[in-house]
Structure 1
Amino acid sequence: MTEAIKETQFKFPGQIDFYKGKVRDVYIFEKELVVVASDRISAFDVVLPRAIPYKGQVLNQIAAKFLAATADLVPNWVESVPDPNVTIGKRCVPFKVEMVVRGYLAGHAAREYKLGKRMLCGVSLPEGLKENDKLPTPIITPTTKADAGHDEDISREEILRQGIVSTKDYEKLEAYTLALFQRGQEMADEKGLILVDTKYEFGKHEGEIYLIDEIHTPDSSRYFYKEGYSENQAKGLPQKQLSKEFVRQWLIAGGFQGKDGQQIPEMTDDIVESISDRYIELFEKITGETFVKADTKNIENRIETAILNQLT
């Protein structure tokens, strides 16, 4: 099997802290962050036992492409991408909300709608919608940004009432979110895709708001294939998705949904390789570019060297 990055444990000059996320290793400096996109994979809020070769590279490079393509709309945190798995950028103080934006009734929104709810995060939904129908206009359905555990739905009104974000800043976050989503939908359309929903995270650096984290990746977004969408809707058929939903479906088929007492199915070499192949396929479909596999021999040395060269 190709070597994969399960975790990194570097020590850099000037480093003041380290944070290990579900899939990323974050090296914290006074004014900068060095983010290593590992090959760890999570589903149902659980990190799976085996890493997926090239997954980190796929997500890091998709995010880099879309951050560069939206920099004219919203300033973002990125300063350099010195390695296929690494992004270095401004150290921002994150807002404690994630800006989830939806153009279609899918996923969590569809599940809530099926339960009879017509209000989602303070936004009213019209009657008569079917799962995966296009919404009249895109809606923002924020969630809290939990330090641990699950994020929770929250309304605009509650965010402002609790003072989680100031009115002035929140209005800017809304405007940025809708502009980014429109650009993302336009770019997806060019590739024969529909950007269904996604999430954005923002932070502040020296008083300015910046777009942070990854954007428009298959881990943070849901895509449908444009071809066949209308026909599938008319017939009440599921939509063909471009996301990591295939990983969740494999786990569900193996009896795992992240609940107590459930066991993760065995991740054989064949399963790991098939997931890796699917991520590469996602990259090529979303970007329209051929994926170039980075050298995975002495992969940690490669990453550490790239970071050190950039920091000095």
Structure 2
Amino acid sequence: MERQRLNAQALAPYADHVLADAFIPELPNFYRGKVRDNYDLAHGERVLIATDRVSAFDRNLAAIPFKGRVLTEIARFWFEATGDLCPNHVRADPDPNVMIVERLEMAPVEIVVRDYLAGTTNTSILTMYRSGARRMYGLAFPDGMRANEKLPQTILTPTTKAGHGAHDAPLGADEILDLGLLTPRQWEDVSQKALALFARGREIAAARGLILADTKYEFGFNAEGHLILADEIHTPDSSRFWLAETYEARLAAGAAPDSLDKDFIRNWVAARCDPYRDAIPEIPQNVVLEAAATYLRIFETITGRDFVLPAPGETPLERIRANLAHLFAR
């Protein structure tokens, strides 16, 4: 199917082609995350299965067809493109939705790197700036900045790593060290690698007509204490991508940038309720399919590959079970 035909209408037959959960009883040590279902194997390995759940505002909002597959395949692309900058946790790729990874001791902070005054969540610098804050994450911001304006320099805005249902909280570098969350040497290593990864991502995105506005990284430490890039990298769930060709005109008009990420869903929800306090309204099928088309578009834009739709009747969980059957006895 041609790229331009992967729109909401073309995806209508796949409205029920979703992986809302990936519980496989034959696999050991199940743990459900916000988006991924995880299994801990012997010999220090973990199975990460990306479901189609979309999480924002510390809540699950919907299930988007093909989202988990898109996240996994985009993350694979970026892990390969950045392997010279930082080792990552990937050990095997048995299925389009699955990675087998090295089990790590995860750092207790998430690292968000930002180039623009943007965001919709309570920990985003735009939300905080609009509320009157001018000192955030240990950094000073001038008056008079516009929403989605480029920052004077790339910044790090770490947060606590909250569990499911809890809220992340902003951290400054001094707080990270004072609380003993990371040692000075670990913080220096994390900071340098996060900025290098972001610079690589920004460069590759620009070559594809995209602006990488911000992104989240998660790091862990292996048994030898080495820093390892974990979770995902530069996906539509962990990053904010804008179309470069329309950015300046939309900024001048005071309009939000054209985005290719989960802001499509976040913005729809935020326009209809306070997502931190109110019940989330049911998201209509046409909005879900538009979100699916957005995920497929960014997959094709970043990777340069066509997204091949599955044969009618394929069930994602059945395919995953077949591809992981060799692990059932382990």
TM-score higher than 0.5? yes
Instruction: Provide the rounded CA distance (Å) in 2 between the counterparts of 1:39 and 1:142.
Output: 26
**Counterpart code for 1:188:** A
State the shift of 1:12 in Å.
Answer: 4.1
State the shift of 1:92 in Å.
Answer: 0.6
Secondary structure at the counterpart of residue 106 of structure 1: coil
Secondary structure at the counterpart of residue 241 of structure 1: coil
Give the TM-score taking structure 1 as reference length.
0.91
Q: Cα RMSD between the aligned structures?
A: 2.0
Match of 1:9 among 8, 23, 30: 23
Deviates further, 126-135 or 206-215: 126-135
State the shift of 1:310 in Å.
Answer: 6.5
Confirm whether residue 264 of structure 1 aligns to residue 281 of structure 2: yes
Deviates further, 196-205 or 121-130: 121-130
Secondary structure at the counterpart of residue 35 of structure 1: strand
Deviates further, 60-69 or 105-114: 105-114
Equivalent pairs counted in the alignment come to 307
**Counterpart code for 1:135:** L
What corresponds to 1:182 in structure 2?
199
What corresponds to 2:45 in structure 1?
32
Instruction: Provide the rounded CA distance (Å) in 2 between the counterparts of 1:51 and 1:236.
Output: 31
What corresponds to 2:255 in structure 1?
237
Instruction: Provide the rounded CA distance (Å) in 2 between the counterparts of 1:294 and 1:82.
Output: 17
Q: 1:75 to 1:160 in 2, by over 3 A?
A: same
What corresponds to 2:314 in structure 1?
297
**Structure 2 unmatched runs, 5+:** 1-12
State the shift of 1:109 in Å.
Answer: 1.0
Secondary structure at the counterpart of residue 110 of structure 2: strand
Instruction: Provide the rounded CA distance (Å) in 1 between the counterparts of 2:132 and 2:290.
Output: 38
Match of 2:156 among 121, 135, 140: 140
State the shift of 1:260 in Å.
Answer: 4.1
Secondary structure at the counterpart of residue 147 of structure 1: coil
Q: 1:137 to 1:266 in 2, by over 3 A?
A: closer
Residues 75, 232 of structure 2: 8 Å contact kept = yes
State the shift of 1:259 in Å.
Answer: 4.2
Q: 1:259 to 1:114 in 2, by over 3 A?
A: closer
Instruction: Provide the rounded CA distance (Å) in 2 between the counterparts of 1:252 and 1:265.
Output: 13
Deviates further, 226-235 or 89-98: 226-235
Confirm whether residue 284 of structure 1 aligns to residue 300 of structure 2: yes
Instruction: Provide the rounded CA distance (Å) in 1 between the counterparts of 2:288 and 2:244.
Output: 28
State the shift of 1:91 in Å.
Answer: 0.3
What corresponds to 1:225 in structure 2?
243
**Structure 1 unmatched runs, 5+:** none
Secondary structure at the counterpart of residue 165 of structure 1: coil
Instruction: Provide the rounded CA distance (Å) in 1 between the counterparts of 2:256 and 2:48.
Output: 36
- Alpha-carbon displacement from aligned partner over 1:40-64 (angstroms, at most 9, x marks no partner): 222322223x522211101111111
What corresponds to 1:210 in structure 2?
228
Confirm whether residue 43 of structure 1 aligns to residue 56 of structure 2: yes
State the shift of 1:286 in Å.
Answer: 2.8
Confirm whether residue 167 of structure 1 aligns to residue 184 of structure 2: yes
- Alpha-carbon displacement from aligned partner over 1:4-45 (angstroms, at most 9, x marks no partner): 2111221346x3x21101211001124011000111222322
Q: 1:127 to 1:274 in 2, by over 3 A?
A: closer
Instruction: Provide the rounded CA distance (Å) in 2 between the counterparts of 1:263 and 1:61.
Output: 29
State the shift of 1:242 in Å.
Answer: 1.8
Percent identity, aligned pairs only, is 41
**Counterpart code for 2:229:** L
Secondary structure at the counterpart of residue 228 of structure 1: helix
**Counterpart code for 2:158:** P
Deviates further, 228-237 or 35-44: 228-237
Confirm whether residue 247 of structure 1 aligns to residue 265 of structure 2: yes
